[in-house]
């Protein structure tokens, strides 16, 4: 029996993150002297371990260009068509041309895999030990509900990263499923089918939905009932269960009004935003210097990576009245490192570099509702959800007379691109819709003082083997790392 490579002594390391006060996300009192039995001895300790698990998911970085789950979000963007990783600039320059993480020998391939499976193993330990802990029964119930939600979140991401979409082949082999705690000597699991992974996701979320009734979180980093409903909406969308997707999306955004046009241009950096259903708050020291989500996507500082730029053709998808179009700015200073690039100022870090990361917004859920209703042929309902978003972006309402049913679906999909840029959905949408990445050479210009300056755009427009972009290419998938293949014969 070969040992399971994906499992290391994470539980021991995670106890360092155990908080002395579970209501304070930023309180990290020293606790590395706790034994495993002490970690699980009380609901207070387990609550802190949930907190530490979330922080591990979002903040663990093996290098500057792997800033936790944010690295996965940004990789999904630059492997698409609306975002560009600037040539020669640190961060995601190898993800953009599909070299990394396609190569299963890279540190990023290993990082993406182990980051999520360590979270899964940690919540498996929480689920196995919470019932025996000292504390009120309702607290145990809520802790287990959060653990189920986090496990479902991890598997929902994994199944979309390591295999093609459900409707293409639900029987294709995806990733192993672990629902019990493991140790370094545990035998690795075999790859489950896409359908089996989604069944696990639905089972976990349905458990969480029951267990989180009555749970009132104190920080938006915690998955609550609204987050669970939003994750269900995402999973139902991918598996094309349109009625359930629309229903859960409506429920997920209850109590989270869509942000106004003025709120949209505030920087996308704080969980206090009215429509953020789930987000990750940070303090400056938690950004680990350059290893942070904002270090790569914020183009406003005078120094920094400023790695990720919008495709100029993405800029053309916006009507002039759209508040989001006001966030584009052309750099016309020939001495500036990003001269002739269009900057998109959606994400602006806080002055002390403590910007928060959005994980789920009411706008996303409105678009899930709109798309699902449109695919069911419910045009008025689809337009209601879509127009709720449009009017908050300074756009006029659309009417049924404006579109055929198929054209309305395409408009909603375009709205997903406009609204969710930079939030990690582009590659998963390309895979879900079984479409090809579309990149074309920029021939656009920007007029500056009467001179038309060429706007920089995509410089990689083929796969590494020089073949054209096509749907369902293996270049879109993340690879199981070579370390895992070598240590788990059951793969």
Q: Are 370 and 405 in contact (CB under 8 A)?
A: no
Mean pLDDT of 384-398: 98
pLDDT of residue 168: 98
pLDDT at 227 over 60: yes
CA distance 223 to 143: 10
Inter-CA distances, 100 with 64, 160, 243, 482, Å: 15, 17, 37, 13
- What three-state secondary structure class fits 83? strand
Condensed to tens digits (0 to 9), the pLDDT of residues 413-427 reads 999 999 999 999 999
Pick from 312, 299, 391: which is nearest to 347 by CA? 299
Best mean pLDDT range from 4-18, 59-73, 219-233: 219-233
Tokens 């950096």 -> residue: 269
pLDDT band for position 75 (cuts 50, 70, 90)? very high
Q: Would you state the pLDDT for residue 16?
A: 37
Where b means 16+ CB within 10 Å and e means fewer, 443-472 reads: ebebeeeeeebebbbbebeebeeeeebeee
DSSP for 184-225, please give it: TTSBPPPPPBHHHHHHHHHHHHHHHHHHTTT---SSTTS--H
Residues 6+ apart with CB under 8 A from 467: none
Q: What is the spatial distance between Cα 141 and Cα 297, in angstroms, rounded to a whole number?
A: 38
pTM of the predicted structure, to 2 decimals: 0.94
Q: Is the pLDDT score of 27 beyond 90? A: no
Instruction: Please compute the mean of the pLDDT values over residues 203-232 and round it to a whole number.
Output: 98
Tens-digit pLDDT profile for residues 245-302: 999 999 999 999 999 999 999 999 999 999 999 999 987 776 666 678 999 999 998 7
Average model confidence (pLDDT) across the chain: 91
pLDDT higher for 201 or 32?
201
* Position 353 confidence tier, pLDDT thresholds 50, 70, 90: confident
The pLDDT value given to residue 184 = 86
The whole-number pLDDT of residue 65 equals 85
Q: Would you give the DSSP letter of residue 63?
A: S
Residue-level pLDDT at 291: 74
- For the record, the structure tokens of 207 come out as 């458990």
Q: How far apart are CA 257 and CA 164, in angstroms?
A: 34
Percent of the chain residues topping a pLDDT of 90: 83
> How do residues 132-151 score in pLDDT, each as one tens digit?
999 999 999 999 999 999 99
Residues 6+ apart with CB under 8 A from 410: none
Answer yes or no: is pLDDT of 335 > 90.
Answer: yes
């Amino acid at each position: 029996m070969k040992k399971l490579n994906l499992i290391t002594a994470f539980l021991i390391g995670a106890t360092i993150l155990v908080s002395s006060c579970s209501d304070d996300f930023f309180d990290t009192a020293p606790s590395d002297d706790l034994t495993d039995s002490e970690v699980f001895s009380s609901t207070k300790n387990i609550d802190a371990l949930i907190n530490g698990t979330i922080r591990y998911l979002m903040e663990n970085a093996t290098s500057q260009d792997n800033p936790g789950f944010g690295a996965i979000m940004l990789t999904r963007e630059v492997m698409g068509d609306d975002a560009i990783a600037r040539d020669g600039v640190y961060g995601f320059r190898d993800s953009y041309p599909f070299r990394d993480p396609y190569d299963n020998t890279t540190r990023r391939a290993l990082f993406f895999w182990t980051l999520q499976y360590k979270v899964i193993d940690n919540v498996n330990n929480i689920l196995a030990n919470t019932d025996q802990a000292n504390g009120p029964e309702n607290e145990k119930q809520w802790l287990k509900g959060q653990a189920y939600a986090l496990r479902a979140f991890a598997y929902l991401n994994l199944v979309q990263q390591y295999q093609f979409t459900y409707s293409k082949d639900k029987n294709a082999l995806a990733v192993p499923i672990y629902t019990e705690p493991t140790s370094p000597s545990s035998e690795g699991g075999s790859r489950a089918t896409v359908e089996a992974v989604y069944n696990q996701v639905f089972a976990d979320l349905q458990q969480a939905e029951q267990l989180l009734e009555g749970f009132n979180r104190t920080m938006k980093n915690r998955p609550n009932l609204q987050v669970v409903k939003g994750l269900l909406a995402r999973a139902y969308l991918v598996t094309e269960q349109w009625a359930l997707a629309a229903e859960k999306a409506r429920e997920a955004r209850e109590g989270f009004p869509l942000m106004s046009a003025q709120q949209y241009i505030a920087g996308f950096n704080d969980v206090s935003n009215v429509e953020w259903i789930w987000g990750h708050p940070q303090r400056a020291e938690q950004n680990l210097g350059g290893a942070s989500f904002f270090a790569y996507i914020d183009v406003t500082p005078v120094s920094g990576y400023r790695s990720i730029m919008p495709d100029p053709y993405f800029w053309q998808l916006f009507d002039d009245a759209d508040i989001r179009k006001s966030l584009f700015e052309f750099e016309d200073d020939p001495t500036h490192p990003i001269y002739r690039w269009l900057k998109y100022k959606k994400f602006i870090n806080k002055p002390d570099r403590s910007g928060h990361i959005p994980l789920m917004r009411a706008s996303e859920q409105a678009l899930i509702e709109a798309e699902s209703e449109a695919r069911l042929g419910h045009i008025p309902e689809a337009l209601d959800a879509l127009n709720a978003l449009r009017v908050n972006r300074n756009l006029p309402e659309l009417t049924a007379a404006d579109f055929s049913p198929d054209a309305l679906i395409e408009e909603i999909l375009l709205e997903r691109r406009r609204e969710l840029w930079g939030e990690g959905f582009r590659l998963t949408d390309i895979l879900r819709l079984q479409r090809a990445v579309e990149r074309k050479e920029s021939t656009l210009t920007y007029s500056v003082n009467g001179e038309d300056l060429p706007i920089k755009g995509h410089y990689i427009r083929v796969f590494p083997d020089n073949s054209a972009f096509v749907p369902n290419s293996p270049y879109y998938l993340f690879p199981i790392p070579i370390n895992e293949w070598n240590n788990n014969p059951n793969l």
